[in-house]
Amino acid sequence: MGMTMTQKILAAHAGLTEVKPGDLIMADLDLVLGNDITAPVAIDVFKGIDAKTVFDKDKVVLVPDHFAHNKDIEAAEQCKKMRTFASEHQITNYFEIGQMGIEHTLLPEKGLVVSGDLVIGADSHTCTYGALGAFSTGVDSTDMATGMATGKAWFKVPTAIKLVLTGKLNKYVSGKDVILHIIGMIGVEGALYQSMEFVGDGIANLTIDDRFTIANMAVEAGAKNGIFMVDDRTLEYVKDHSQKEFTVYSADEDAEYVRTISIDLSTIKPTVAFPSLPENTKTTDEIKITEPIIIDQVVIGSCTNGRLSDFSKAAKIFEGHHVAKGVRVLIIPATQKIYLQCMELGYFKTFVEAGATISAPTCGPCQGGHMGILAAGERCLATTNRNFVGRMGHIDSEVYLANPEVAAATAILGRIADPTELSESGKS
């Protein structure tokens, strides 16, 4: 029986010639990641198992990004614990204030992840790196601790869903709409403990940023990981960002999939996920014919849509327009590099003149941490990845998910809107 991309990576890292779905394996790790919520717990476990030091100081990455900049004393203590641990074990890749960024944007940017890698992170959106043809998945803090100590982790080999992408995205449609469309189709448990494997000639029409967004939200369909076939665009990105050796894995022709889904990218429309699950999707066309959904806050950022291309798209929408009265708009670049690029390209000027505010890199309000918490009854449209009850603040608040262009149009019109409505309304 042939193997999928994921199965080949797992087999190689387990030192096996073949693995099958359901097999329990122990595999070598290329990278172990933790943040300021999960790493402090892992550090306590690490000390509890009497580990002397980390398996490889270059392969452990610690990024305080969720509650940093420190929002309170507890957050400060969490970050201090990480800082002290990184110093004691001479961890190379510790990124804090001045160097930090949102972990899942920062690692690829720094060239720490390449095609064929096996990565675990104590954060569910570690699956982001599948955009580069790596196997990456979220684990708990205990697995992170043992991974830091031994350089190994156990896995149950997943079955796979094959997603065949064809065609090309239309204007105002991006990777966020693709993954929301898929989750809306299969549901939040539609890929439970399965590998979502993206193939097809339509992938060539997706940017790497599109792919990061799609892979990032594979977990929102319950997937163990999301992974893209490696093409020339992938290799260009990897070579531009990293000096690490990489390996390209391709699925065998006779690889088995539990399901095959074909998607014509040209048929996807701007899509919004309604509260309180990512599967509750409607297109902006459908929203137009309903009562206006008034929004109190718009957030553009996160590990899902906090990259330069996201702000470029949003800035084009904001040009010549102003945020609607009563709407708060938060712009949160995902890394220091992206922050600097936005400043140099004049995007910040555009955002500020439009009435938005700029934040330094942080997860911020995405998981209800800080810098944009919602009060009871408030509604936020965000380019983030989750809209669970209480995700961004009060349990009686609401979060809607969308792409950066829809977010910008919504900020300008004060209600959930399609970018095409700006020209129709004559709003300025």
pTM as predicted? 0.97
| Percent of the chain topping pLDDT 90 | 96
Query: Bridge partners of 94?
Result: 62
How do residues 84-131 score in pLDDT, each as one tens digit? 999 999 999 999 988 889 999 999 999 999 999 999 999 999 999 999
- DSSP, collapsed to helix, strand or coil, labels residue 407 as helix
Report pLDDT for 424. Answer: 61
Cβ–Cβ under 8 Å, residues 152 and 27: yes
Tokens 């203590």 belong to which residue?
A: 77
Cβ–Cβ under 8 Å, residues 332 and 301: yes
Tokens linked to 23: 């097999």
Tokens linked to 30: 């290329």
Average pLDDT over residues 389-404: 97
Tokens linked to 387: 């809209």
Q: What is the DSSP string of 180-200?
A: HHHHHHH-TTTTTTEEEEEES
Tokens 């940093």 belong to which residue?
A: 68
First to last CA, the chain: 60
Taken in order 251, 254, 259, 263, the sign of the CA dihedral is: positive
Tokens 């911020």 belong to which residue?
A: 364
Taken in order 333, 207, 62, 302, the sign of the CA dihedral is: positive
Domains of the chain: 5-265 (3.30.499.10), 272-421 (3.30.499.10)
Tokens linked to 353: 């003149």
How do residues 54-87 score in pLDDT, each as one tens digit? 999 999 999 999 998 899 999 999 999 999 999 9
Report pLDDT for 427. Answer: 53
pLDDT at 299 over 90: yes
How do residues 197-249 score in pLDDT, each as one tens digit? 999 999 999 999 999 999 999 999 999 999 999 999 999 999 999 999 999 99
Taking alpha carbons only, the member of 65, 346, 51, 305 closest to residue 176 is 305
Report pLDDT for 428. Answer: 45
Report pLDDT for 426. Answer: 54
How do residues 149-170 score in pLDDT, each as one tens digit? 999 999 999 999 999 999 999 9
Q: What is the DSSP string of 272-316?
A: EEPTT-TT-EEEHHHHHTS---B-SEEEEEHHHH-SHHHHHHHHH
How do residues 337-362 score in pLDDT, each as one tens digit? 999 999 999 999 999 999 999 999 99
Report pLDDT for 1. Answer: 78
Q: How confident is the model at residue 173 (pLDDT cuts 50, 70, 90)?
A: very high
Rounded Cα gap, residues 97 and 357, in angstroms: 20
Rounded Cα gap, residues 184 and 237, in angstroms: 30
Rounded Cα gap, residues 307 and 7, in angstroms: 30
pLDDT at 144 over 50: yes
Report pLDDT for 15. Answer: 98
Average pLDDT over residues 383-405: 97
Cβ–Cβ under 8 Å, residues 42 and 62: no
Report pLDDT for 425. Answer: 54
Residue partners of 238: CB distance under 8 A and separation at least 6: 111, 114, 115, 132, 246
Mean of the per-residue pLDDT values for the chain? 96
Report pLDDT for 137. Answer: 98
